[in-house]
Amino acid sequence: MTVQAHIPAQAAFRHARWSSERLFFSGFAVAITTAVVLGFARTFFFRAWYPDWARLHGAPEPFFLLHGVAFAAWLLLLLTQTSLVAAGRVDLHRRLGVLGAGLAMVMVVLGTVGALMAASRPRGFINVPVPPLQFLVVPFFALGGFAAFVSLALLNRRRSQYHKRLMLLATIALAEAGVARWPFAFMSTALPIPGIGMTELCLDLFLVPMLIWDLASRGRPHPVTLWGGLALIASQPLRFWLMGTPAWLAFAGWAVSLLPG
């Protein structure tokens, strides 16, 4: 094969790989958004169709409407950003990234306040049989993971392969509350692993397509997929152990006491 013939072949290969990559990350954004919408369909996204369910199982405080709007905006931004990259509009993607950074900070604040409000209720977190001060570790870990992954993504914004994977991991960490509310009977199935329930297992399964894509596209796991995924998984038994410790209960009680009134 001549050099001249080899160059178009290389260009065609790069174009096919780039098209597949855009399809994968756009599809992943749609999948994770669908998972969250499914969980919150009856209490937020389509609550007008399920008034009785929303009244019994939705958060009663008006604050959570703002909370939900902000978190829904993140999903919408994720879909928009992946679509812009797929369309080759990286310039606009970067401009919107500034909005995404600000939105992420707002979400951490709103998520923290919302978690403390839920823990301060007499009945605690809705449909959660764990004492509220203990369960507070779950949303705090999710928010901490989200904040860490987004921060690393912003620091690596010029390293696209790192940036896009970190943003997906941030959204996976955030999606736990939605996955926990999936309306499927199997979600209540107990697993023999301490700290790992069906919610955690289903959440961790979102790492599988990332790993498969890495193996197919680069022949080995990307460092972000490997170490970020392991960190996400390891945090689940860790928080299970932490939630019953006197140190955590003291911290949780102090944090809840910061709420006015």
DSSP the chain: --HHHHHHHHHHHHHHHHHHHHHHHHHHHHHHHHHHHHHHIIIIITGGG-HHHHHHHS--STHHHHHHHHHHHHHHHHHHHHHHHHTT-HHHHHHHHHHHHHHHHHHHHHHHHHHHHHHHSTT-STT--S-HHHHTHHHHHHHHHHHHHHHHHHHTTTSHHHHHHHHHHHHHHHTHHHHHT---GGGG---SSTT--HHHHHHHTTHHHHHHHHHHHHSS--HIIIIIHHHHHHHHHHHHHHTTSHHHHHHHHHHHHTS--
Per-residue confidence (pLDDT) for residue 194, from 0 to 100: 83
pLDDT in tens, 63-92: 999 999 999 999 999 998 888 887 778 778
pTM tops 0.85: yes
The residue ranges of every structural domain in the chain are 18-257
pLDDT in tens, 101-160: 999 999 999 999 999 999 999 889 998 999 999 999 999 999 999 999 999 999 998 898
Mean pLDDT of the chain: 89
